[in-house]
């Protein structure tokens, strides 16, 4: 991911603006632009700034149909709850204080990296940036070696982190559906294959990662961040220590209601965007 961030920053100062106009297949449009313009900057085809007015100016805020995905994607990006227990069990002399320190540092580092990658990605393409940033680079040059290496690095990182999420999901399924039964390698392997096959089908047939991130961010993220922790706190802490009218439990209930409200609003906006065809009609920033 550090390599990804460095590449995004580097490309910001290498790719000229404005980009060639496009209205369909990225590769064919690039070839047409190269053949007709004959004007290159740093090896990339360029149009005169007057050809596409406003494409190289940054907007502090942009409100459109894609804005509905912003908060759900942010929530999804920072849902690290499934990884907490596996990491905690691997610590030497694990403690709540040590795990809190790890969480604070990792979330802060990833926030800075996400922010810089989003900022320089947007400043590279401005209003032309797509929901999948690496796909936007392929429009400029489909065979850019650096971007292809970044894609391989991201795929490797995602592939190697899947088991961290797969373990608790499989354990939860076994406890819910096969509680009390003896361990079986067949069942153990079958659950993993079903989970991985489902993920692969989503990757293959989903028109855009934007819809997946938005849907997960609007459903599971509010549950993991807002609703479940609040409900568990209210349920686990005895009433004789903290009655329901106590300040912590009132705040917890409010936290759960906030998560539920966030889920309903996000899902409503996303479904509305799907109904109007906005999820597949363009990118977001």
pLDDT digits (tens, 9 = 90+) for 154-212: 888 888 877 777 887 888 888 888 888 888 899 999 999 998 898 888 878 877 777 77
3-state secondary structure 88-149: HHHCCCCCHHHHHHHHHHHHHHHHHHHHHHHHHHHHHHHHHCCCCHHHHHHHHCCCCHHHHH
Task: Say what the pLDDT of residue 105 is.
Answer: 93
Task: Say what the pLDDT of residue 41 is.
Answer: 41
Q: How far apart are the first and last CA of the chain?
A: 20
Higher pLDDT, 92 or 29: 92
pLDDT at 24 over 50: no
Task: Say what the pLDDT of residue 135 is.
Answer: 85
Burial of residue 124 (number of CB atoms within 10 Å: 0-12, 13-18, 19+) = buried
pTM of the model: 0.69
- As a whole number, the mean pLDDT across the chain is 79
CA pair distance 229, 252, nearest whole angstrom: 8
pLDDT tens per residue, range 115-137: 999 999 999 888 788 878 888 88
């Amino acid at each position: 991911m550090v390599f990804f961030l460095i590449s995004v920053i580097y490309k910001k100062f290498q790719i000229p603006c404005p980009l060639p106009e496009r209205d369909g297949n990225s590769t064919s449009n690039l070839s047409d632009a190269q053949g007709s313009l004959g004007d290159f900057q740093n090896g990339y085809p360029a149009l005169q700034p007057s050809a596409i007015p406003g494409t190289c100016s940054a907007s502090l805020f942009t409100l459109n149909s894609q804005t509905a995905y912003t908060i759900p994607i942010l929530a999804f990006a920072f849902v690290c709850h499934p990884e907490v227990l596996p990491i905690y069990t691997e610590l030497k002399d694990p403690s709540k204080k040590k795990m809190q320190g790890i969480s604070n540092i990792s979330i802060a580092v990833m926030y800075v990296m996400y922010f810089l990658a989003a900022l320089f990605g947007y400043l590279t393409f401005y209003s032309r940036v797509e929901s999948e940033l690496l796909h936007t680079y392929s429009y400029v040059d489909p065979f850019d070696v650096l971007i292809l290496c970044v894609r391989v690095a991201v795929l490797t990182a995602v592939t190697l982190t899947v088991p961290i999420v797969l373990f608790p999901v499989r354990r939860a399924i076994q406890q819910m559906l096969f509680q009390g039964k003896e361990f079986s390698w067949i069942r153990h392997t079958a659950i993993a294959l079903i989970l991985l096959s489902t993920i692969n089908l989503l990757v293959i047939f989903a028109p855009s990662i934007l819809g997946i991130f938005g849907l997960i961010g609007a459903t599971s993220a509010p549950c993991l961040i807002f609703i479940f922790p609040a409900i568990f706190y209210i349920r686990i802490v005895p009433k004789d220590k903290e009655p329901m009218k106590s300040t912590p439990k009132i705040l917890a209930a409010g936290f759960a209601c906030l998560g539920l409200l966030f889920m309903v609003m996000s899902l409503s906006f996303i479904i509305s965007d799907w109904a109007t065809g906005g999820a597949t009609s363009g990118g977001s920033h």
